[in-house]
Amino acid sequence: MDRRAFIRRSLQVAALTAVGGLPCLDLQALPAVAADPPLALRKGTDIPRLVRETVAALGGMRRFVKPGETVVVKPNIGWDRTVELAANTHPEVVREVVLLCLEAGAGRVRVFDRTCNDPRRCYRQSGIEDILREIPDKRLRVEHMDRRAYHELVIAGGVKLNRWSFYRPALEADRFINLPIAKHHSISGLTLGMKNVMGVIGGNRGVLHRGIDQALVDINQVVHTDLTIIDATRILIANGPQGGRLEDVEVRNTLIASPDIVAADAMGTTLFGLQPTDLPSVVAGARRGLGVMDLDRVKMV
C-alpha cells in the first residue's frame, strides 16, 4: 500500500464511520524510498522541446501516468506577477507537461494552486490559465481551489506538524506532478519542489515559517510527489519568492526532473551555486527518508 492508497483508505474509513475523529496518517509506517533515483537535467531555449526531452530521459510520461488515471499538475501560481518576473512556473512548461499527461492517456488532469495574491489575478497574470484554456480537451481542468475540499488529517510521527488540513483532490489523485519554479526564498533559502507542495495545504500557512524545514518534510510525506520537474527556464535569484524586478531574474533555460523530490531539490540548489547541504529542507528530507540528497548517488539520465 502506498501513501496515497493509505490516505484514501483512511479518508474512506472516516467517512464511513462518520464519527468526530480525524483520519490519522502514521508517517513512520511509510515505506522508505528506492535508492539511486534517476534524474534528468536538460537545457534548451525551445520550451516545449525541452520539456519533452527531459521527460523522455526519465522514460517518458507513460512511466508516470497510466491510462485513465487522475493526475494533478501543481505549478507555482502563487503571485500576481507576469511571466518574465519569474515568480510563477512558466506557462509553456505547464502546458507541455499537461499535454504529455493527456497524451499518456490520463483520465483527468487537474491544475490548481493555492495562491498568495488573489487567485483570479494570479491565474490570469501568470499566463497559465490562458494558455491552458487553449487546450481543447475535456479531461483538463484549470480550477480554483474549492474551499470546501480541505480535509484535516492527524499526522502521527510528524516532527513539526501533528495535524493540518490538506487539499483532498491533491491527496486523492492517482498521480501528483510537481512543477515548481526555482526561486530564492527569504525564509526557506530557496523554494523548489518540496516548498511548492505548500500550495495544496490549507490552514494559516504563515505560522509554518517557524521551523519550516521539518514542516516541509511532514507535508511532503503526506502528499507524495510522483514526478518533480523544476522549471529553471528563468530563476529568481533575489527578493524571492515574489520578486517583481527584472534585475533579480536570470535566464537559465534549464529543467530538472526526477521522481525523487529530494534529489530534484538537491540538484536545484546547484542552480544558485549552492550545495544540497546548504538547503535545510533538503537535508531534513534526506534524513527522514523522503529521498536522496547525495548527488553522487543520483543516476543522471
Partner 1 sequence: MTGLRRLRIVCQLGCLLGFFWLFVATEYRGLDELPYPVSLLFRIDPLAALADFFAPGAFAWQLLWPALLVIVATVLLGRFFCGWICPLGTTLDGAGRLLKSPGGRSRPGLRKIKYLLLLALSAAALFGVQVFGWFDPLSLFLRTLTFSLYPVYNLFANRVFDFFYDHHLPLISDLVNGAYPFWRDHLMAFQQPVFALGLFTALVFLAVLLLEKFERRFWCRNLCPLGALLGLCSRHALVRREPASLCSDCSRCQSACRMAATGSDGHARSECVLCFECTEYCPAERVRFGFHGREGSGQVDLRRREVVTALAVGALVGPTASIAPAAASADSYLLRPPGAVAEDEFLRRCIRCGECLKVCIGRALQPAWLDAGPLGLWTPRLVARFGYCEYNCTLCGQVCPTGAIRPLTLEQKHKTVIGLAVLDKDRCLPYARNEECLVCEEHCPTGRKAIVFEQKQVLVQSRIKILKIPRVVGKLCIGCGICETRCPVEGRSAIRVTNENESRRKRDGLA
**Contact residues: partner 1, CB under 8 A:** 80, 116-121, 124-125, 143-144, 146, 148, 185-187, 204, 206-207, 209-212, 239, 241-242, 244-245
Q: Which is nearer to partner 1, 24 or 116 (CB)?
A: 116
Task: Return the H-helix or E-strand segment holding 100.
Answer: helix 91-103
Strand, helix or coil for residue 265? helix
- 58-63-64 Cα angle (round to 5): 100
Q: Which is nearer to partner 1, 215 or 262 (CB)?
A: 215
| Dihedral sign of CA atoms 142, 144, 146, 149 in order | positive
Q: Which is nearer to partner 1, 119 or 291 (CB)?
A: 119
The CA distance from 219 to 200, in Å, is 9
Shortest reach from residue 272's CB to partner 1, in Å: 18
Q: Which is nearer to partner 1, 49 or 121 (CB)?
A: 121
Shortest reach from residue 61's CB to partner 1, in Å: 27
Point out which residues pair with 256 in neighbouring strands.
Answer: 41, 230
Shortest reach from residue 186's CB to partner 1, in Å: 5
Shortest reach from residue 189's CB to partner 1, in Å: 11
Shortest reach from residue 81's CB to partner 1, in Å: 9
Strand residues in 131-194 grouped as ranges (E):
140-142, 150-156, 163-167, 175-179, 181-185, 189-191
Of 223, 172, 159, nearest in space to 193 by CA = 223
